[in-house]
Amino acid sequence: MTEFSSIIQNVSRFITLTEEEAQLFTSLLRTQKVRKKQFVVQPEFVCQYRTYITTGALRSYFIGNDGQEYTIALAIDDWWISDFTSYINQEPATLFVEAMEHSTLIQISYQNEQALYEKVPQFERFFRIHSQRGAAAIQKRMLWSISKTAEERYEEMQKKYPQFLQRFPQYVIASYLGMTTQFLSRIRNRKIKG
């Protein structure tokens, strides 16, 4: 039972590791504590790490030319988050990744990830499956962001991720759902009154 037990469990959903492999893996990781409102990734800087959340809550968002915030992803305990585009291409980020709570993170650097592939090739599989699922999730999200009304999107979130509604402030939820805080507020009110 170490600080890494939860990430090992997360990885073990898709691949099986020997004791030595697991040790090799964790030797390439670093843990990080971040305080609420701290940034893990910022535009212009290259995203150096894949980030796994041991405990806490983070979000990624970008700021459009209009100055508006667009929340891309929400993530809590046992989820991964990054600006993957920046990370995989090792190019400057376009997103912010911000802690919404004091959080404990586990990170792997791009360099160490490449080394990991050499030493424990199984991780090619892990990150393949991980990326495939990520791609599927983003696509599903895009699908409903274009085909559903604001109210339907909110209902879907209530049903599918009720924890998120409690853990993130409403302006973040609104921005994740692609609507203004004012409109979200109206929907919530409409629903209470019937």
Partner DNA sequence: AAAAAAAGTTAATCTGGTTTAATCGTTTTT
Partner DNA sequence: AAAAACGATTAAACCAGATTAACTTTTTTT
CB neighbour list of residue 186: distance below 8 Å, 6 or more residues apart: none
Q: In terms of CB distance, is 93 or 177 closer to DNA?
A: 177
Q: Which stretch binds a second copy (CB under 8 A): 23-31, 66-74, 97-105, 154-162?
A: 66-74
Answer for the pair 81, 73: CB distance below 8 angstroms, yes or no: yes
By rule CB under 7 A, what string of x and - marks binding of each residue 18-37 to DNA? ------------------x-
Instruction: Tell the burial category of 58 from Cβ atoms under 10 Å away from its Cβ (0-12, 13-18, 19+).
Output: buried
CB 3, min distance to a second copy, A = 27
Restricting to residues 104-123, name those near a second copy by CB under 8 A.
117, 121
191 binds, among a second copy, DNA, none (CB under 5 to 8 A by kind): none
Site mask for DNA (CB under 7 A), range 138-177, x = bound: -----------xxx-----------------xxx------
Structure tokens at 165: 């509604």
Angle at 181 between CA 175 and CA 182, to 5 degrees: 150
Tokens of 133: 């699922």
CB of 163 to DNA, least distance (A): 15
Hey, what amino acid is at 63?
I
What is the distance between the alpha carbons of residues 83 and 66, in angstroms, rounded to a whole number?
A: 21
Select the residue interacting with a second copy from 138, 158, 162, 165 (CB under 8 A).
138
Task: State the minimum distance, in angstroms, from the CB of residue 6 to a second copy.
Answer: 23
Question: At 12, which amino acid appears?
Answer: S
Nearest distance, CB of residue 150 and DNA, angstroms: 4
In 35-52, which positions are buried (b, 16+ CB within 10 angstroms) versus exposed (e)?
eeeeebbeeeeebbbbbb
* In the complex, least distance from residue 68 CB atom to DNA, rounded to whole angstroms: 7
φ, ψ (nearest 5 deg) of residue 121: -55, -20
In this chain, which of 68, 111, 163, 170 binds a second copy, going by CB under 8 A? Answer: 68
Residue 70 in contact with a second copy, rule: CB under 8 A: yes
Binding site for DNA (CB under 7 A): 36, 66, 68, 149-151, 169-171, 178-186, 188-189
